[in-house]
Amino acid sequence: MTAPDISDAGSRAETGSSVDAGSSTAAVSLVDVGKIYGKGTAAVTALRDVSVRIRRGTFTAVMGPSGSGKSTFLQCAAGLDRPTSGAVRLGGTDLSSMDETRLTELRRERVGFVFQAFNLMPSLNVWENITLPLRLAGRRADRRWVEEVVDRVGLAGRTKHRPAELSGGQQQRVAIARALVARPEVVFGDEPTGALDSVTAKEVLTLLRDTVDSMGQTVVMVTHDPIAASYADQVLFLADGRIVDTMAGAGADRIADRMTHLGAWA
């Protein structure tokens, strides 16, 4: 077991420095998480002894070379997949003890997702797409709250439009609103700006940053892009399934430099 190497210790660098899953300030914590896909000679180890604690109200970027385990990390942290070993906690809840039904409920009520492909329902308008998770959970949409979220993501006036009538950035903002509307404890994004041009990506990143700063949202985002990662409070670097470094408050140049070195090892 290897503890994350905290080379940039600072007030915001405590992620990973202590595994204190019981702390009330942890939004998500992983303790000695391992993930092996497949069996026997086909087995692939995607995560090894990953321990990290992500504080509430922070923006975390997860970076690393292709195949380093970023998506696996996100899926295990979000309860979309189960680790082979170790424990994942969301708030105070241990996900490993939950059966599939409870895990599905947890994903619906306590977690939001934003993917590279916006995954909107083409036949539903913006308002219907945003409120779909609430309806699936059998919850009534609080109109004032939905309006506030729509406003915040800059889609007021577009709620009657279908996804095909919106730009890529607007579609991703619908997906972010959909993720926020259930007031999730954590919003997870896997390359949420991966399909966007740099100007539009910047808008989406600014919006994610704003949900952290003004709504106290916790955001965990996988990205390949050092500029995207520079919007985060802290960056976790994965290589070969392990957290090999964390950085707090780093600019894009420093992050890119770190990535170059990781790439050399991969």
Ligand X SMILES: Nc1ncnc2c1ncn2[C@@H]1O[C@H](COP(=O)(O)OP(=O)(O)OP(=O)(O)O)[C@@H](O)[C@H]1O
Instruction: Note the residues at the interface with ligand X (CB under 6 A).
Output: 37-38, 44, 46, 64, 66-72
Least distance CB 73 / ligand X (angstroms): 7
How many other C-beta atoms are found inside a 10 Å radius of the C-beta of residue 99?
7
By C-beta, is 38 or 92 nearer to ligand X?
38
Distance CA 205, CA 214 (A): 14
Least distance CB 190 / ligand X (angstroms): 8
Binds Mg ion by CB under 5 A, chosen from 71, 85, 93, 116: 71
Residue nearest to Mg ion as judged by C-beta position? 71
List % helix, strand, coil for the chain (3-state, nearest 5): 35, 25, 40
Alpha helices in the chain (DSSP H): 70-77, 100-110, 126-136, 143-152, 168-180, 198-215, 226-229, 252-265
By C-beta, is 142 or 240 nearer to ligand X?
240
Of 7-15, 69-77, 174-182, 226-234, the segment contacting Mg ion by CB under 5 A is 69-77
Regarding 85 and contact with Mg ion (CB under 5 A), the answer is no
Amino acid at site 207: L
Regarding 96 and contact with Mg ion (CB under 5 A), the answer is no
Q: What is the largest CA-CA distance in the chain?
A: 55
Least distance CB 70 / ligand X (angstroms): 3
4 binds, among ligand X, Mg ion, none (CB under 5 to 8 A by kind): none
238 in Cβ contact with 64 (< 8 Å): yes
192 binds, among ligand X, Mg ion, none (CB under 5 to 8 A by kind): none
Least distance CB 157 / Mg ion (angstroms): 35
Least distance CB 67 / Mg ion (angstroms): 8
By C-beta, is 4 or 133 nearer to ligand X?
4
By C-beta, is 157 or 263 nearer to ligand X?
263
Least distance CB 194 / Mg ion (angstroms): 9
Binding site for Mg ion (CB under 5 A): 70-71
